[in-house]
Amino acid sequence: MRSSRSRARAGLSLAAALPLVAGALALAGPAAQAQADSTPHDRQSLVGTKPQWATAGADQGATAASKAVTARVYLAGRDADGLAAYARAVSDPKSASYGKYLTAQQAKERFGATRAQIAEVTAWLKSSGLTVTASNDHYLTVSGDAAAARKAFGTELHDYVKDGKTYHAPSRTASVPASLHGAVLTVVGLNNAPRLAHHQDTLPGPSAAFRNAGPFSTYYGSNVNSDLPAAYGSHAPYAIKGYTGKQLRAAYGAKNFTGKGVTVAITDAFASPTIVKDIEQYAKRNGDKAYRKGQFSQVLPADYTHTKPDECDAAGWYGEETLDIEAVHAVAPDAGIVYVAGSSCQDDDLIDSLRKIVDGRLADIVSNSWGDIETNETPDVAAAYDQIFQQGAVEGIGFYFSSGDDGDNTVKHGVKQVDTPANSPWVTSVGGTSLAVGKGDKYLWETGWGTHKAPLSKDGHSWDGFPGAFTGGAGGGTSKVFEQPFYQRGVVPDALSKANGTTKPMRVEPDIAAVADSSTGFLVGQTQTFPDGKVAYDEYRIGGTSLAAPVIAGVQALAQQARHGVPIGFANPAIYDRYGTAAYHDVTDHPLGRGQGLGVVRVDYANGVDAKGGLVTSLRSLGGDTSLSATSGYDNVTGVGSPANDYVTSYIPRSGR
């Protein structure tokens, strides 16, 4: 799942992205560029700080001068261009600098903001009438009124109508004095529209208990009811109860690797109060290795905000955290896991959680199952995220983001678009599959995740409306924001990279994929609240690309172990370097041949908890993801494919490689 938008993207520094994306971003469009061009010569434009929804038609006039404003001023550091260039060099297997990572301290000394820059930016903000309420090496938080914001950032704030509500935003692109010599990356918060990230699991959290009804299969095809109507020329099997670590490790080529010596970080908002008990009980019940002392740790904020159901819905994130931790441990049972919680689902708070990982070099691999749609993304927030991803890359840290659960987003949002931050060229976007693991933990096949639901007819003789309505599928598609990064050249076909009608190829999601379909999903264990008020541990099957992301993070931990512990870092260049080899399952929507459809039978409790409300039997057809398709070669549902038997071992160092 995901929540409203809170992961921030800042007034994007185009220069910082150029080395990776080769000419990178048309982030703000001609109008914003025209405004930037008209900025006085003694000021530097912060491109993208006027949101696209702040149009003349929505303009309600100037914001009252006394209106309270709170913002973050992000610092560019001493060499933003050099940071991006080095991030690419250490990540590219074809570069002489490949793998020559810096320590966190070295990265700070080489690319971080200087004390003089911080002091100069602080003095300018104060001279404009703003109060600096917090300051660190990465940003300054300021408060004041609209009049002071206008003086500081060279733009009036106006009130605009968005989604039936009124918010203030810059009436033109914000700017800062040129005398600051590029010390400011961007400013976030001059528009006060909510920016809340959504978690990606497809089932409810502990605030509303969930159980699967059954019957189940223990592996794909183990339980078939021949009395139910046939589909696609045969009787479909019941959905599995939920794959476990043993089955996923076999499917994705774990062999004897366990992630030993590698640490995976997980970020979400808030923190489940029962997480330690839950993950230990789950491991014991499902054959996973017991956690050793210190193997799991948490980094929690001092306080939490925006916890209400109509804001971030704190309890709804507990299931996401539980899934992520249990999935990583199931795939990489010896890997260390550190959970770093955001104090809310707001962008600034999630940025802070990512920043803690980079500044403290807390992990090698970072799994993130949250985000939003690209039309809600603002370039100012994007710049703040990308700066973290680049700084992580130079330290050998890789970031993995779920690609979304709504296919091309047309069904839910009405517009074909990708998800973010998975759209960033600096992260690995993880798509989803429907997975069949057979008897003896044998990998059978995968389709791209795209599911349709057809209920059993009242007379029990057919599936109503077969194949039925779309219920969910892996996010993917072509970005309208980021140009094609170097590692996708020659792999992603023009039909996809230019799908938006552009003359230049654009960034396409995802990069790689793993199991995500909740009908072929993962068994998770969590403390939940039941309708009678009872709070108890229980287990249920779950899916979503928020499953795929931690599964891939776990596989990458295995690969890093195979690499003799050397961090993989920003993984995309290495992932695409293996394209077309035996490292991947080339996932298609028709693994048994074109025209041969696939499905599973699901029996669910109508009330989601017990049989009191009756049962709902349906056929879930696999491999139909809105306008997206899993095809031979790279595709916009599964990227280069899913890890195959040779993926992990392909990272074992070889002479000449």
DSSP string, 413-453: HSS---EESTTSTTSEEEEEEEEEE-GGG-EEEEEESEEEE
Q: Which of 70-84, 149-163, 183-197 has the lowest mean pLDDT?
A: 183-197
Q: What are phi and psi of 208, to 5 degrees?
A: -140, 105
Domains of the chain: 14-196 (no CATH), 245-470+513-651 (3.40.50.200)
Q: Which two tokens stand for residue 198?
A: 């959504």
pLDDT value at position 6? 38
Categorize the per-residue pLDDT at 19 as very low, low, confident or very high, splitting at 50, 70 and 90: very low
pTM listed for this prediction = 0.93
Q: pLDDT band at 206, cuts 50/70/90?
A: low
pLDDT at 307: 85
- CA neighbor of 651 nearest in space, from 551, 552, 549, 571: 571
Helices (H), 466-544: 494-497
Distance CA 259, CA 263 (A): 8
pLDDT, tens digit, 9 for 90 and up, residues 290-315: 999 999 999 999 999 888 888 888 88
Cβ neighbours, 10 Å, residue 26: 17
pLDDT of residue 614 exceeding 70, the answer is yes
pLDDT of residue 583: 98
User: 2, 36, 46: which is closest to 382 by C-alpha?
Assistant: 46
Q: Half-sphere exposure of residue 338, counting CA atoms within 13 Å on the CB side?
A: 19
Q: What is the DSSP letter of 289?
A: P
Query: Residue 531 is encoded by which pair of tokens?
Result: 């309708």
Amino acid 375: pLDDT: 87
Q: What are phi and psi of 264, to 5 degrees?
A: -110, 130
Q: How far apart are CA 206 and CA 613, in angstroms?
A: 20
Q: Does pLDDT of 130 surpass 60?
A: yes
Strand-pairing partners, residue 603, are 617
- Angle, alpha carbons 608-274-249 (nearest 5°): 75
In this predicted structure, which of 6-20, 352-366, 426-440, 610-624 has the lowest mean pLDDT? 6-20
More confident: 365 or 196: 365
Tokens of 565: 């512990």
Mean pLDDT on 320-339 = 97
- Would you list the DSSP string of 198-235? EE--SS--TTS--------BSSTTS-B-TTSPPBTTBP
For residue 105, give every residue at least 6 positions away whose Cβ sits within 8 Å of its Cβ, in sequence order, or none.
Answer: none
pLDDT at 201 over 50: no
Candidate from 28-32, 205-209, 274-278, 431-435 with smallest mean pLDDT: 28-32
In this structure, the strands spanning 59-62 and 157-162 are antiparallel
Q: How far apart are CA 349 and CA 472, in angstroms?
A: 28
DSSP code of residue 123 = H
pLDDT tens digit sequence for 541-581: 999 999 999 999 999 999 999 999 999 999 999 999 999 99
